Amino acid sequence: MPERTESESRKLLRRLRDVLAVPGKGQDRLDAITHLIADSMGTEVCSIYLFRDEDTLELCATEGLKKAAVHQTRMKLGEGLVGRVARTGQPVNTANAPAEKGFRYMPETGEEIFSSFLGVPIQRVGEKLGVLVVQSRTGRLFSEDEVYAVEVVAMVLAEMTELGAFTGDDGAMRALHKQPAMFRGATGQEGAAEGRVWLHEPRVVVTNPVADDPLTEIDRIRGAVGELRVSIEDLLEAEELDKEQKQVLEAYRMFAQSRGWLRRMEEDIMRGLSAEAAVEKEQSAARARMEQVPDAYLRERLQDLDDLSNRLLRILTGQGADTGAQMPDNPVLVARNIGPAELLDYGRKLKGVVLEEGSVGSHAAIVARALAIPLVIHAARITGEALNGDHILVDGDQGIVHLRPEETVARAFRDKIAMQAEAQKRYASLRGLPAQAKCGTTIHLHMNAGLMADLPSLEGSGAEGVGLFRTELQFLIRNKMPQRAELAALYARVMDAAGGRRVAFRTLDIGSDKVLPYMKPNDEPNPAMGWRALRVGLDKPGVLRMQVQALIRAANGRPLTIMFPFVTEHGEFAEARGHVLREIHREKSLGHRVPERLEIGAMCETPSLAFAPQAFFELTDFVSIGGNDLKQFFFAADRENERVRRRYDTLNLSFLAFLEQIVARCAVSDTPLSFCGEDAGRPIEALALAALGIGTLSMRPASVGPVKALIRRVDLTEARAVIDRARAEGAESARPALMDWLAAQPE
Ligand code: PEP
Ligand code: MG
């Protein structure tokens, strides 16, 4: 690269920095910058377009176009060449702009006389801020070096924007991270929370995008990359890496060793950027590419590069995850993603959790659910917008997040929370009363749990017992297989806390979405229908037996209830039950006390079990319908897939007919039947299940009150008649008929 260009771009950056150093209004600075760039580049035009909202760009400053167009000319994302640059995050360089596909002529700017056009995105690590454009009359392509120089300038503009250099009341630019913002995600866990943002990984703030002495910066970047390489080597040498972890680290090593990566950053530095800004420039480019790449594998690799850049930035700036910031009161955790153990570390301190990624069945979601913390997932781009301490409202019911909300929004939100609290008070007054319907039938309400921390809810909710204790959480949150003694101690504490009330311990339900960090992952094409739950337990009975031993020892003579997940056929259940009986025998012979009463039941989570031979219903002590799984297999609609997961109504009359068959099968053998999927905690669904004859429902503790209140208001035989009538009338779902009927019921 010619030395002249290098020093030109450095000179340009230095002039830019001088402009920015002078205190002034945001608009004056933008104007000065466009003038400066046009002058330095020898172009007739330089313009800055900035985002006004998520998909509108506005001409905010120009040298060379008509001044009257400033703050008037706007375009949508993707519209015209400027919109194209903004959408793709890639530069557009053309000698004949009017001939380009998508060119939009804007008469108010007098643009038509300019043939050559170079637009580069103004973006900061994936956060799109605007577009910087230079144009000239002579039809020529801008040289590679010129493109590079404009990109570097755009990078500095982005950094300075982040630092608030262009904000003001003079129409210049909205203050970043100050405006209200709303994010539409998806529900991970219902509930509402108001609090202050706590970023799991705070953003690294770069305050020195331009540097004077490139050699010092090059030393710094080489030193930091060296440190990074050593840290990756150390990680790679650590023991207990599984294949996948190793692959990720090897990809990291490849990037960290990549000569191209370091060379590009060094070139950026030679053009006047600081080491930090050079890392961010590369990171931004990787993020922009990430959005364009359809190939999942390549996207993941770009994601690796992104993570690596973050590490490098932390090394350079010394800003670790622990910035010394104080966690605010009522913290709401905001993160790209978070592991279950990390989330548990925060524990109940958190009022809410908002993730950019995550899924309904992710471990973090399971933990959030167990902790009853409202969780919104898929809140795209929120980590780029939120700052520690920002006011935030989390609406877990709707999957919506309000960041820095207007007061009117906050007020409406508080009204909603107050109404919910009011209702909770009403439910609390029902705590000691049975869920007895008007017809005299009493429904038994139990709660679902998975952590020791859930047990106090047993008292508070008025649940009669724990209808589903998901034991896998204890396995998921550790980084190695828990020991029998550890588990026995934990199960004993659970039983102690339950104070004699029944706790149905479900044996390990792993596989599908729940992958243990210390187990070899199976690359299964369809894990929900793969090697999971009891299938693993039977094929590798060591863990199942260890868990059963821990349960027997924990019970220490007390009654014990064991439930197997994902039983698909009679033989599987009989085999699993055989393991338990053998362990009882073994424990007894070792001198341990055995349970005074033992119940061994099965979860019905696959349609096939509903058609199992009569012998199964006679052998099992109870059946508990795992509606989450049963429904996904009944409708062939993945419970994890946002596109289809709400497509079929639980009150669909075909599904209800199927549940009725299970009720009938259990009735023949007098087998107790319960339902422990999420639907049991939704009042209308719970009412329908009770009306079909399912006498025990197990749900989140917070649902016990609402479900009880509704059941006490109604006559279940009437509700049943409503369902039958809806079916006779050929309805698809019983919901509309039940809702109409309910509306006519006295409060
Ligand atoms: C179910 O499938 O309904 C169930 C209760 O189990 P899980 O949600 O843990 O799969
Ligand atoms: Mg299940």
Taking 70 as the threshold, does the pLDDT of residue 276 lie above it? yes
Q: Picking from 212-226, 256-270, 511-525, 706-720, which range would have the lowest pLDDT averaged per residue?
A: 511-525
Structure tokens at 672: 């107790």
Q: Picking from 163-172, 699-708, 736-745, which range would have the lowest pLDDT averaged per residue?
A: 163-172
What is the residue extent of each domain of the chain? 3-173, 181-201+326-413, 214-317, 434-461+623-670+672-747, 465-621
d(CA 486, CA 483): 5
The whole-number pLDDT of residue 524 equals 81
Q: Domain 181-201+326-413 belongs to what topology?
A: Glucose Oxidase; domain 1 (3.50.30)
The tens digit of pLDDT for each residue in 384-395 reads 788 889 999 999
Question: How many angstroms does the Cα of residue 710 sit away from the middle of ligand 1?
Answer: 24
With both helix axes pointing from N to C terminus, report the angle between 716-728 and 683-691 in degrees, rounded to the nearest 10.
90
- 214-317 has which CATH code? 1.10.274.10
| Closest ligand 1 atom to 628 CA | 3
Measure the N-to-C terminal CA separation of the chain; round to a whole number of Å: 80
Q: Is 269 exposed, middle or buried (0-12, 13-18, 19+ CB in 10 A)?
A: buried
**Do 214-317 and 434-461+623-670+672-747 have matching folds?**
no
- Give the model's confidence band at 2: pLDDT under 50 very low, under 70 low, under 90 confident, else very high: very low
The tens digit of pLDDT for each residue in 419-462 reads 888 888 889 899 999 999 999 999 999 999 988 878 888 888 89
Among 60, 604, 666, 676, which one carries the catalytic annotation?
676
Average pLDDT, integer, range 349-362: 83
The whole-number pLDDT of residue 171 equals 54
**Angle at alpha carbon of residue 140, lines to 48 and 267, rounded to 5°:** 65
Better-predicted residue by pLDDT, 275 or 643: 275
Structure tokens at 233: 């080597």
The tens digit of pLDDT for each residue in 331-347 reads 999 998 887 777 877 87
The answer to whether residue 676 is catalytic is yes
Taking 60 as the threshold, does the pLDDT of residue 175 lie above it? no
The whole-number pLDDT of residue 533 equals 93
The Cα-based distances of 412 to 351, 352, 405, 460, 666 in angstroms read 18, 18, 11, 28, 47
- Give the model's confidence band at 664: pLDDT under 50 very low, under 70 low, under 90 confident, else very high: very high
The whole-number pLDDT of residue 635 equals 97
CATH class for the region spanning 3-173: alpha beta
Among 363, 444, 446, 579, which one carries the catalytic annotation?
363
The whole-number pLDDT of residue 333 equals 95
The whole-number pLDDT of residue 218 equals 94
- Give the model's confidence band at 514: pLDDT under 50 very low, under 70 low, under 90 confident, else very high: low
Q: Would you say 189 and 46 are in contact if contact means Cβ atoms under 8 Å apart?
A: no
The tens digit of pLDDT for each residue in 90-128 reads 899 999 888 888 888 777 787 667 889 999 999 876 678
Question: How many angstroms does the Cα of residue 530 sit away from the middle of ligand 2?
Answer: 13
Helices (H), 484-595: 484-498, 534-539, 541-555, 570-589
Q: Picking from 245-259, 398-412, 672-686, which range would have the lowest pLDDT averaged per residue?
A: 245-259
CA dihedral 400, 405, 407, 411 (to 10 degrees): 20
The tens digit of pLDDT for each residue in 178-209 reads 778 899 998 888 889 999 999 987 777 777 78
CATH architecture under which domain 434-461+623-670+672-747 falls: Alpha-Beta Barrel (3.20)
Mutate to test the pocket of ligand 1, among 605, 640, 655 (most ligand atoms within 8 A of CB): 605
Structure tokens at 92: 């557009």
Better-predicted residue by pLDDT, 676 or 519: 676
Taking 80 as the threshold, does the pLDDT of residue 586 lie above it? yes
State which H helix or E strand residue 265 sits in. helix 259-270
Q: Residue type at 731?
A: A
Model-level pTM?
Answer: 0.69
Better-predicted residue by pLDDT, 240 or 536: 536
Q: Residue type at 723?
A: I
Ion ligand 2 residue ranges (Cβ < 5 Å): 605, 626, 629
Mean pLDDT for the chain? Answer: 87
Identify the residues whose C-beta falls under 6 Å from ligand 1.
Answer: 468, 470, 509, 605, 626-629, 676-677
Helices (H), 144-274: 144-162, 214-237, 243-257, 259-270
Mutate to test the pocket of ligand 1, among 629, 639, 650 (most ligand atoms within 8 A of CB): 629
Give the DSSP per-residue string, 626-655: -HHHHHHHHTT--TT-TTTTTTS-TTBHHH
- 465-621 has which CATH code? 3.20.20.60
The tens digit of pLDDT for each residue in 598-639 reads 999 999 999 999 999 999 999 999 999 999 999 999 999 988
